[in-house]
Structure 1
Amino acid sequence: MPKITLKDGVLSAEVYVQVTRDHTCPCGASFTITMDMPEGVTYNGKINVTNVTCPKCGGPVTLPDGHHYIENYKLLTKQLDQDA
């Protein structure tokens, strides 16, 4: 469902897509995360996934430092450019 905003006479919409991400916890458990993210948005750095915990140890889920982007409904990560 898109988030639609009307501010100062300008109508804008934010479209969310459901993405998946395979994750391995430091405890060794492997699982798949599913979440809604804004379409076309990229993130640089670590991502703390709220309201998700490891099914084995109960620890918080943090995606590693990197350039995170969405492709074919999957959340993927590339290493950040060290020269930037």
Structure 2
Amino acid sequence: MQDALRQDIDDLENEILQIEENIVEFSRMKYEEGIKISLRKLESDLKYLSILANGIPIEKDEDRKIMDFLRTHYNKLQKLSVPA
């Protein structure tokens, strides 16, 4: 069970990184609809990662890494957001 949750966390972290890359690319192309969809997906994935990380017993080092990842990428989310 722990391995499956760890894999889910790794998958979410990779997906978050990919979404951020997509947002940057959509910004270059000025594709606002793609940006908006990606931002919603990014926010959703960050929330889900937070729920997973807070709901499983993990070691302190691992918890710190996940919390740092979340903090970093929530900050990126704020910077990547486009004005409505």
TM-score normalised per structure 1: 0.24
Structure with bigger gyration radius: 1
TM-score by length of structure 2 reads: 0.24
User: Which has the higher relative contact order, 1 or 2, with Cα contacts under 8 A spaced 6 or more apart?
Assistant: 2
Higher strand share: 1
